[in-house]
Amino acid sequence: MPTKRGPPDSARLDRVVAEARRSRDEREKTYRERALKLFPWICGRCAREFDRSTVQQLTVHHKDHNHDNNPAGGSNWELLCVYCHDNEHSRELEAAARDGPSAADATAAATHRPFSDLAERLKGGGRRDA
């Protein structure tokens, strides 16, 4: 009987990862089921209605984006179809991306202007002196 086989550590790690994944899935399933019991099966954005055969496309959005904030009354939840949910999150990413470059542009313009001003003043001043 061979004593050297695969390292037992990787098997243990696999089990830990699987357990973490399972407990996360269970937690998500729990708040999803609670939300589906609490609210009508309608997307909060496009008002699409869902039934037993399509409900897997209905997702729970966390209004404050904290998936650990699951108050019993469901005040942090919003039912959104997968498309609107996607939209909801990409809109925030776009907004963040839009704020970034424009702020950088403003800074660049502010630091750039004094130099072009200076160049014009030097040019004009030189001509006036001559």
Single out the segment in contact with Zn ion by CB under 5 A; choices: 1-9, 14-22, 59-67, 120-128.
59-67
Judged by DSSP in three states, 59 sits in strand
Q: Closest approach of Cβ 120 to Zn ion, in Å?
A: 52
Examine residue 77 and tell whether it contacts Zn ion (CB under 5 A).
no
20 to 12, 16, 25, 34: CA distances (angstroms): 12, 6, 9, 21
Backbone angles phi, psi at 20, to 5 degrees: -65, -40
Instruction: Identify which of residues 35 and 43 has a Cβ nearer to Zn ion in the complex.
Output: 43
Q: Are 81 and 45 in contact (CB under 8 A)?
A: yes
Examine residue 43 and tell whether it contacts Zn ion (CB under 5 A).
yes
Residue 48 burial (C-beta neighbours within 10 Å; 0-12, 13-18, 19+)? middle
Single out the segment in contact with Zn ion by CB under 5 A; choices: 20-28, 33-41, 81-89, 108-116.
81-89
Listed residue (85, 43, 87) closest to 61, CA to CA: 85
Single out the segment in contact with Zn ion by CB under 5 A; choices: 9-17, 37-45, 100-108, 122-130.
37-45
Q: Which of residues 83-112 bind Zn ion (CB under 5 A)?
A: 84
In eight-state DSSP terms, residue 81 is E
Instruction: Identify which of residues 33 and 49 has a Cβ nearer to Zn ion in the complex.
Output: 49
Query: Binding residues for Zn ion, how many (CB under 5 A)?
Result: 6
Examine residue 45 and tell whether it contacts Zn ion (CB under 5 A).
yes
Where do contacts with Zn ion occur on this chain (CB under 5 A)?
43, 45-46, 61, 81, 84
